[in-house]
Structure 1
Amino acid sequence: MAYNQMLQSTIEGVKSIARTDLCLMDTEGNVIAATNEEAQQYKESVLTFVDSPAEIQVVQGYQYFKILDGTTVEYVMLIRGDSDDIYTIGKLVAFQIQNLLSAYKEKYDKENFIKNVLLDNMLLVDIYNKAKKLHIDAEERRLVFVIETNRQRDNHAMEVVKSLFTGRHGDYITAVDEENIILVKGLDPKETYDEMQTLAKTIVDLLNTEAMINARIAYGTIVHNIKDISRSYNEAKMALDVGKIFYDEKSVIAYNKLGIGRLIYQLPIPLCKMFIDEIFPGTTPDEFDEETLLTIRKFFDNSLNVSETARQLYIHRNTLVYRLDKVNKATGLDLRVFEDAITFEIALMVVRYMHYMENKIY
């Protein structure tokens, strides 16, 4: 659709200069772009011209030009007038459209190729052969970003991201599903993860200000061969999921910074249930009231420091001790003891993961 709009804009621009009507049809006589409403009446003559050996002919006051894709006729262009000047204009326009067609097909082929590599849909030998044919460097350093916008097929978000990378060689922006935008970023030899973190934050800020979208971005690890971008893509997808479960306050999540969240995410659900039943028989650590859970989270944030936690919660130290004793009675874990605190924190994360997976399934 965007390509057809570009063709329509092109011939309208030519009409404003040459002051004559133009029309572009495919090989089945369908109008692709036109500056007048009479184009459909020339369908039969266009079909006859497509099957003829002639490259140019004049019919009913229009000059017909074939536009080729390699050796195959892709379009027929009609331009009103039979003078030499109109012929020259027609040749120039046909040449321009043929170049646009080649450029568009190359771009489409590259995007389609990147999608197939991301989804691991190609054999290794085909990846290298196709990359060579499309002039894509197979050995370039790359990293994959997954940008979640929470809006299905948000074209405005896609355009905002593309605007940030226009003209950058080696960067590819595409989509493989209805929800996420994928950026395959080509890296300079000295670019690091710190710079990728800064770039991700820039994209989030841009989407927030330009498209009014609260986006989340995850990225995988740097790979050095095009065959491995599928691995970086899968890492980014995992990081996005892990971020939703354990780090929902973050808008940028790096696969190499997931910590224990990555480990828990890869545990089978039956093993998680066994762990919770073993540590908390008959209950779960998330069944406490919100006040108690807030107290526990703040206590952990302050490295098990009772005085500092009480100060930040604006409660008496004895009140905090009472709440911690209540947790101890319910679970058998004394959160003032480092080992018990770690057990409780991991249990909270495991329960969060189990709830997420259950909601994802249903």
Structure 2
Amino acid sequence: MKPMAQNLFKSLVSQYRAIIDYPFGILDDELYVLAASDESAVGKYMGELENLIRKDDHIILNRNIAYQPIYIKGKLEFIVYLENTGESSIKLLNILSIAFLNLKKVQDEKLDKTNFIKHLLQDSILPSDIYVKAKELRISTDTKRVVYIVKVSPENAENVYDILYSMYPSKDVDFLVNMDEETIVLVKEMPDSFTQKDIDKVAKTIDNMISSEIMCTSKIGIGSPVDTVREIATSYKEAKIAIEVSKVFDTERDIISYENLGIGRLIYQLPTTLCKKFLDEVFKKDSLEELDDDTINTIHKFFDNSLNISETARKLFIHRNTLVYRLDKIQKNTGLDLREFDDAIIFKIAMMVKKYLSANVIKF
């Protein structure tokens, strides 16, 4: 029995404990106690039942304990027990069994939906089957959704999943999927009148919750909003690209939206051979490599201050003429005058391309 189902059973036991006078609980198919009104019994092995269970038996009585095996599609799923064998207690056992069975069915339906979403994200469902399967599972096919990818270290993944599950428990509206040991995906339904701020707010809430509750870092990639269930995979791919691009161009940000990647997104999708050719054409004879760290820092500050010489000089705590001298030197070495908008754009793109190539991304 999966831990999630066990937690649900414990919740149900907790609700019934206040109104049932006799000890009761539920065993898994291997005869271990999953949940019980007497919490000390949880985990206990009830091996004596092994020789008592017969498939045709509806109720098993043994040592003043009544057991009711529950079968689903011919397979033993669990056994509900009550420590009293009176007639009224047997009726009570039936009620308990129905409650546990209904809870199991609800949980299985949620798992079916989760598996469908996971296969959808992995592109392992035929396009012609997507709408048919979605309708079978009662998943809305025409609802606005956004995909969030949450990346955490493997040792924190389980705790992060539990936090996200507590934040978004409904499998009818939002879907939470474990993709691998460090990747959790949230497919979030959005209201009709949502804005980009609403999309970003979800990511910020998740990031704040993870950092405050578990005190660990995370990377959150956000895909574009989509209108149909078929497009969920597209939003997922975009969220993946957002995280990958941020590893190259924006390593310090924890939350990255595909729609805000800017020119980095374009560069990331270019073949590395084309990028190398571009650099060779822009910078003759390794002129970019000849620029020292101080010069590179000057260039970054100049770009940050919108090519404003006076403001850049002030931020660098240098004289205006010193900055002009540095810019002249850069022009002499590279052939690009950063005071000219077109040259500045070419240089900016070239620096990003170099950073992209330095990340050892290989695409032909």
| TM-score, scaled to structure 1 | 0.87
Q: Unaligned regions of 5+ residues in structure 2, if any? A: none
Q: Which residue number in structure 2 is paired with residue 2 of structure 1? A: 4
Q: For residue 119 of structure 2, what is the amino acid of its counterpart? A: N
Query: What are the equivalent positions in structure 2 for 1:225-240 lying under 5 Å apart?
Result: 225-240=228-243
Q: Which residue number in structure 1 is paired with residue 314 of structure 2? A: 311
Q: For residue 304 of structure 1, what is the amino acid of its counterpart? A: L
Displacement of 1:310: 0.4
In structure 2, C-alpha distance between the alignment counterparts of 1:308 and 1:269, rounded to whole Å = 36
Q: For residue 4 of structure 1, what is the amino acid of its counterpart? A: Q
Q: The residue matched to 1:320 in structure 2 has which SS?
A: helix
Query: What are the equivalent positions in structure 2 for 1:1-362 lying under 5 Å apart?
Result: 1-8=3-10, 10-11=12-13, 18=20, 20-22=22-24, 24-27=26-29, 29=31, 32-33=34-35, 36=41, 37=44, 39-46=46-53, 49=54, 51=55, 53-69=56-72, 72-167=75-170, 169-283=172-286, 285=288, 288-358=291-361
CA pair 114-167 structure 1, distance change in 2 beyond 3 A: closer
In structure 2, C-alpha distance between the alignment counterparts of 1:285 and 1:228, rounded to whole Å = 42
Q: CA RMSD in A?
A: 2.7
Displacement of 1:13: 6.9
Task: State the identity as a percent.
Answer: 37
In structure 2, C-alpha distance between the alignment counterparts of 1:314 and 1:225, rounded to whole Å = 54
Displacement of 1:313: 0.8
Displacement of 1:272: 1.1
Write the deviation string for residues 232-281 of structure 1: whole angstroms up to 9, x where unpaired: 10011111112232233433322222221111010111111111122223
Q: Unaligned regions of 5+ residues in structure 1, if any? A: none
Instruction: Judge conservation of contact 2:149–2:185 (CA < 8 Å) in 1.
Output: yes
In structure 2, C-alpha distance between the alignment counterparts of 1:38 and 1:169, rounded to whole Å = 36
Displacement of 1:32: 4.4
Displacement of 1:353: 1.0
Displacement of 1:148: 2.3
In structure 2, C-alpha distance between the alignment counterparts of 1:187 and 1:311, rounded to whole Å = 45
Displacement of 1:327: 2.2
Write the deviation string for residues 98-156 of structure 1: whole angstroms up to 9, x where unpaired: 11211111111111111111111111233222211211111111111112234555222
Q: For residue 100 of structure 2, what is the amino acid of its counterpart? A: I
Q: For residue 3 of structure 1, what is the amino acid of its counterpart? A: A
Deviates more, 1:185-194 or 1:209-218: 209-218
Write the deviation string for residues 304-361 of structure 1: whole angstroms up to 9, x where unpaired: 2211110111111122123223322332222222222211111110011112234x99
In structure 1, C-alpha distance between the alignment counterparts of 2:20 and 2:348, rounded to whole Å = 74
CA pair 88-180 structure 1, distance change in 2 beyond 3 A: same
In structure 1, C-alpha distance between the alignment counterparts of 2:193 and 2:60, rounded to whole Å = 57
CA pair 38-104 structure 1, distance change in 2 beyond 3 A: closer
In structure 2, C-alpha distance between the alignment counterparts of 1:39 and 1:21, rounded to whole Å = 15
CA pair 26-167 structure 1, distance change in 2 beyond 3 A: closer
Q: The residue matched to 1:285 in structure 2 has which SS?
A: coil
Instruction: Judge conservation of contact 2:32–2:45 (CA < 8 Å) in 1.
Output: no
CA pair 56-190 structure 1, distance change in 2 beyond 3 A: same
Instruction: Judge conservation of contact 1:66–1:75 (CA < 8 Å) in 2.
Output: yes
Deviates more, 1:170-179 or 1:80-89: 80-89
In structure 1, C-alpha distance between the alignment counterparts of 2:144 and 2:73, rounded to whole Å = 33
Write the deviation string for residues 172-207 of structure 1: whole angstroms up to 9, x where unpaired: 122212222211111222212232123322322332
Instruction: Judge conservation of contact 2:221–2:257 (CA < 8 Å) in 1.
Output: yes
Displacement of 1:11: 4.8
In structure 2, C-alpha distance between the alignment counterparts of 1:169 and 1:2, rounded to whole Å = 17
Q: The residue matched to 1:200 in structure 2 has which SS?
A: helix
Q: The residue matched to 2:50 in structure 1 has which SS?
A: helix
In structure 1, C-alpha distance between the alignment counterparts of 2:233 and 2:248, rounded to whole Å = 23
Deviates more, 1:215-224 or 1:163-172: 163-172
Write the deviation string for residues 203-224 of structure 1: whole angstroms up to 9, x where unpaired: 2233233332333322112211
Q: For residue 4 of structure 2, what is the amino acid of its counterpart? A: A
CA pair 23-200 structure 1, distance change in 2 beyond 3 A: closer
Deviates more, 1:283-292 or 1:105-114: 283-292
Q: The residue matched to 1:176 in structure 2 has which SS?
A: strand
Q: For residue 251 of structure 1, what is the amino acid of its counterpart? A: D
| TM-score, scaled to structure 2 | 0.87
Matched residues, number? 356
